[in-house]
């Protein structure tokens, strides 16, 4: 298993711990090797839904989720998806800290 694949698995494990149990169970099922025939079409549909996020019901949230599912099987996507997740989580953490610090600061 490549370094990118190992990192992606760790990120999936972390995500499974953070989301509700029902969603985590579905994600665990989708990560199994035999679920490849479900994972790839679902990933493509989610990416397409993310591209058409300007339509009602569809949302931009579909794009990263679709890319994440596709990265399990498409090796060339693993490194870019890993970097995007790491950068996004760092920005999210720093945004949360700055927001928290603003609330604590005296007016």
Q: What is the pLDDT of residues 47-61, one digit of tens each?
A: 998 888 877 777 888
Q: Which residue has the tokens 């609330």?
A: 103
Query: What is the pTM assigned to this prediction?
Result: 0.76
Q: How would DSSP label each residue in 34-47?
A: GGHHHHHHHHHHHH
Q: How many domains does the chain have?
A: 1
- The sign one gets for the Cα dihedral 63, 39, 76, 90 is positive
pLDDT-based confidence at residue 107 (cuts at 50, 70, 90): low
The boundaries of the domain holding residue 82 are 3-104
d(CA 50, CA 95): 24
Section 96-102 average pLDDT: 87
The pLDDT score that the predictor gives to residue 2 is 84
Q: How far from the centroid of its chain's Cα atoms is residue 31's Cα?
A: 13
* Nearest Cα residue to 68 out of 3, 2, 13: 13
């Amino acid at each position: 298993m490549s370094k990118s694949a190992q990192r992606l698995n760790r990120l999936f494990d972390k995500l499974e711990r953070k989301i509700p149990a029902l969603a985590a169970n579905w994600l665990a099922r989708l990560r199994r090797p035999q679920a490849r025939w479900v994972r790839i079409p679902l990933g493509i549909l989610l990416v397409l839904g993310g591209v058409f996020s300007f339509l009602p019901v569809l949302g931009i949230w579909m794009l990263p989720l679709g890319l994440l599912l596709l990265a399990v099987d498409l090796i060339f996507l693993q490194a870019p998806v890993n970097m995007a997740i790491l950068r996004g989580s760092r920005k999210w953490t720093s945004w949360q800290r700055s927001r928290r610090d603003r609330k604590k600061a005296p007016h």
